[in-house]
Amino acid sequence: MKSLLSGRKARGAVLAVAIITLALAWPAAAQGGNEEYTFQIYYVNSDFYPIVQAYLRTFDAKRDPLDNVTIANIGIMVEGFNYDPKAAIPSHQYAIETLGNRPQEGYRMVFVWDCSGSMAGQPFNDAKAAITKFIQLKRPVDQVAILAIRDRKEGYQLVSGFTSDPTALYVAMDDVKPDGQETHLYDSIAAAYELCTVAIKGVSSGSGSEFAFVPCIVVVSDGKDEKSVLARSELINKLTSLKTPVPVYSLAYSKEDTSHFANLENISNRTFGRYWTVSETQEFASRVQDIRSIVLKDYVVTFRSYVPIDGKEHSFAIALAYGTNPSSGLPRENVFKAIDSPAKRFPQFKPTYDKLNQAFPLLPAPGPYFADGCPPWIQNLAKTEPPPPPIDPNKDKVVPPPPPPPPVPVPPNPNDIWRLVAVGLGILILIVGIAVWVRKNASANRGSSSRSDKTSGGTKDL
């Protein structure tokens, strides 16, 4: 990784300058007036390479997601070479959209529901109503799992694994009671993390999703942990160990002791999630919907890569210029794999592969890059001679001559018909004449023979 990101600061400075120039060129496109913001590339999908998809989570100064980020607010760099926006944008070499505008792609969310005795009564009922409302409003492609903190051997109960079926979730929730005597908060969050880990691995091995699910955790609790096997620091290390971080969104509520709220705040801040204190449990429903809105406002940057397939990781960077202070648009780096995409060989994924390659077409040299900053793989592509024509396997085979065409029927000529009739009549007259002649000769011969017999008989009598 170190070799891939060598020269990181230099490339970052170049890309930042390019993004500042870009923002100044399209000032109307940079929406919003917050001066402070940040973002993170939390997942990269190379499954449809050469099309790469990078998932971004953005925050403004109030930790709200940035609104109306457009293609004019971002810039792309691959292996230290900038995409030229004036060439790349019109030819559709990269694009940006929110997760909410990708109806084919869902998220996976685990609710960690504190069902200890301290949450009995209205807090329990309002938490259940908030989760129910979330399930009602989710999209069909989105999946939900529920984990209740209760007195079980593990310290929690898996109410439901990931499912998109609302009815199954409602039925499973009806059996949950606020009867816990101890709160194994950290162990329960760790179990939710394991569910998310399985979700990520399942997607990477081809679980049937068109793209990758985005897992996250929502915790409704007072933040107090009792007798967990894991310490808070161990839990945070676990949550941040994945290449794809799992954000934890926390709703902290207690009428008695708020000293444990810091546990939830620390976990959420370290995982790029968000933390709220709830003074009245009726707020649970609105906060849960805020979380849904945040998740759907994650951005996906899609771009075509021109790095040749070699099965290796390659660095890229995305810079974001937003609001009235474009100079704060520092780049974020990550890597993609230049692989021979298996998607084009599987019928269930090939339509998506073809669709993406059509949407982000291959350009001739210099591709999407600046003409005076063309990377070597594009330069080599420009020097490559066109491939020879394919060899015809039938070239040296002896091909038999084609069969003669069938005779074309000629329509009869009326004059020819009359000629045939005349010839026929002539032949008939000739035959009749011959027959008459033969008959006459035969009669003559019989008469001569009779006379001769009579003469012979008379002589004998004498």
Please state the domain extents for the chain.
107-296
Identify the sign of the CA torsion 89, 296, 160, 157: positive
Q: CA 45 to CA 39: how far, in whole Å?
A: 18
172 close to 68: Cβ distance less than 8 angstroms: no
What the block records as the tokens of 166 is 């609302």
- Please identify every stretch of the chain with a pLDDT value under 70, giving residue numbers as ranges: 1-35, 199-214, 243-244, 324-329, 379-401, 407-416, 444-462
Question: 3-class SS at 359?
Answer: helix
Identify the CATH homologous superfamily for domain 107-296: von Willebrand factor, type A domain (3.40.50.410)
Do the beta carbons of residue 164 and residue 142 sit within 8 Å? yes
Phi-psi region of 245 (alpha: psi -120 to 50; beta: other; left: phi over 0): beta
Residue 277 near residue 284, CB atoms below 8 Å: no
CB-based contact 136:170 (threshold 8 Å): no
Return the SS3 of 320: strand
Region of 68 on the Ramachandran plot (φ > 0 left; ψ -120 to 50 alpha; else beta)? left
- Distance linking the first and last C-alpha atoms of the chain: 156
Residue 161: its H or E element: strand 157-163
The amino acid that residue 454 corresponds to is: K
pLDDT of residue 373: 83
Please tell me the distance from the alpha carbon of residue 71 to that of residue 85, in angstroms, as a whole number.
9
Q: What is the pLDDT of residue 3?
A: 36
Q: How far apart are CA 250 and CA 273, in angstroms?
A: 8
Give the distance, in angstroms, between the CA of residue 281 and the centroid of all CA atoms in the same chain: 39
CA dihedral 438, 439, 445, 447 (to 10 degrees): -160
Amino acid identity of residue 76, one-letter, is I
∠ CA 292-293-297, nearest 5°, is 120
Question: Hey, what are 170's tokens?
Answer: 């409602």
Residues 238, 217: contact at Cβ < 8 Å? no
Calculate the CA 55 to chain-centre distance.
Answer: 13
Quote the pTM value.
0.70
CA distance 2 to 8: 9
Q: How far is it between the farthest Cα atoms of the chain?
A: 181
Contact between 291 and 275 under an 8 Å Cβ cutoff? The reply is no
Rounded Cα distance between 99 and 63, Å, is 18
- Return the SS3 of 316: strand
Which uninterrupted H or E stretch holds 19? helix 8-25
230 Cβ neighbours under 8 A, 6+ residues apart: 186, 187, 190, 238
Containing 15, the helix (H) or strand (E) segment is helix 8-25
Query: Which stretch of DSSP H or E encloses residue 124?
Result: helix 122-137
Q: In what order do the strands lie in the sheet with 214-221?
A: 157-163, 143-149, 107-114, 214-221, 248-252, 274-277
DSSP-derived secondary structure for 164-233:
--HHHHHHHHHT--S-BSS--HHHHHHHHHHHHHHHHHHHHT--S-SS--EEEEEEEE-----S-SS-HH
Give the residue from 104, 57, 119, 166 showing the smallest Cα distance to 278: 119
Buried b (16+ CB within 10 A) or exposed e, 236-260: bebbeeeebbbbbbbbbbbeeeeeb
Per-residue pLDDT at 200: 58
How many Cα atoms are found within 13 Å in the side-chain-facing hemisphere of 176?
Answer: 31
In the block, tokens 């505008």 appear at 101
